Amino acid sequence: MVKYFSCAGLLKNTWDQVCIAFWQRYPNPYSNHVLTEDIIFREVTPTNCLISRRLLTKTSRAPRWMERYLPKHMASSAYIIEDSIVDPQKRTMTTFTWNISHARLMSVEERCEYRINPENGSWTEMKREAWISSNVYGLSRAIQEFGLARFKTSVTKTMKGFEYVLAKMQGETPSRTLAETATERARETALAAKEKAKDLASHAQKKQYV
């Protein structure tokens, strides 16, 4: 049995910008789990398609009940293969990723396609598909449910990171920076209010003793 997941997204950036951001998306504030990225193969085909293969190392903390099935040195990291095909004529970019670590325990395969939005040529639409499977007898369903839940969380972070990099490329203030600024201002306001409350309390005490 295989768990299937599919979702679509829209990036309000041109296809060219999205392709450039794809190669520059690490590091970003939402990708702290990505430790390394290495290009292990790249070529341009006779039809001018760019084909690449990268090896990614990511932190991948397994739940405690799953750690007993993993070697200690593999329980907190994972190796991912990412293949990509950029077709400048069709204006499409297709990526395929799959894990080579823990594959006997759980396999996660993902396919993403980026193409120009037919309703707005300045925007890029994407479709993401994933297949999560496990062959562990008696635990396959639980492992697949865990893998699907983690994948959905990962997708949210991936899109936020992508949008962050695109905003930074355009010279805009990334949303995370805005959020951090708002948080900092809230802290400053709270601190000022706290200090003012202390002053009022101090004045009230002095009046009692006068």
pLDDT band for position 172 (cuts 50, 70, 90): confident
Give φ, ψ of 121 to 5 degrees: -65, -10
pLDDT at 74: 56
The token pair at 103 is 């594959």
By DSSP bridging, strand 92-99 and strand 50-59 are unpaired
By DSSP bridging, strand 50-59 and strand 34-44 are antiparallel
pLDDT at 121: 96
Distance CA 119, CA 121 (A): 7
pLDDT at 201: 59
Helix (H, G, I), strand (E, B) or coil at 86: strand
Average pLDDT over residues 195-200: 62
Task: Count, in order, helices (H) and strands (E) of the chain.
Answer: 4, 7
Average pLDDT over residues 117-143: 94
Distance CA 185, CA 204 (A): 28
pLDDT at 103: 87
pLDDT at 199: 62
Average pLDDT over residues 37-47: 96
pLDDT at 178: 44
Average pLDDT over residues 165-193: 64
Report the candidate in 93, 83, 63 with the shortest Cα–Cα distance to residue 75: 63
List helix spans (H) across the chain: 15-23, 64-67, 140-169, 175-209
Q: In the predicted model, is pLDDT for residue 17 greater than 50?
A: yes
For residue 111, list its beta bridge partners.
96, 129
Distance CA 136, CA 5 (A): 20
pLDDT at 196: 61
> 3 near 144, Cβ under 8 Å?
yes
CB proximity list for 31: less than 8 A, separation 6 or greater: 25, 157, 158, 161
Average pLDDT over residues 110-137: 96
Average pLDDT over residues 166-192: 63
Distance CA 151, CA 161 (A): 15
34-38, 80-84, 115-119, 187-191: lowest mean pLDDT where?
Answer: 187-191
Kindly list the distances between the CA atom of residue 89 and the CA atoms of 17, 47, 66, 68, 112, in Å, as whole numbers in the listed order.
16, 9, 45, 49, 18
> 93 near 84, Cβ under 8 Å?
yes
More confident residue, 64 or 180: 64
pLDDT band for position 195 (cuts 50, 70, 90): low
pLDDT band for position 66 (cuts 50, 70, 90): low
Average pLDDT over residues 83-108: 94
Percentage of the chain exceeding pLDDT 70: 74
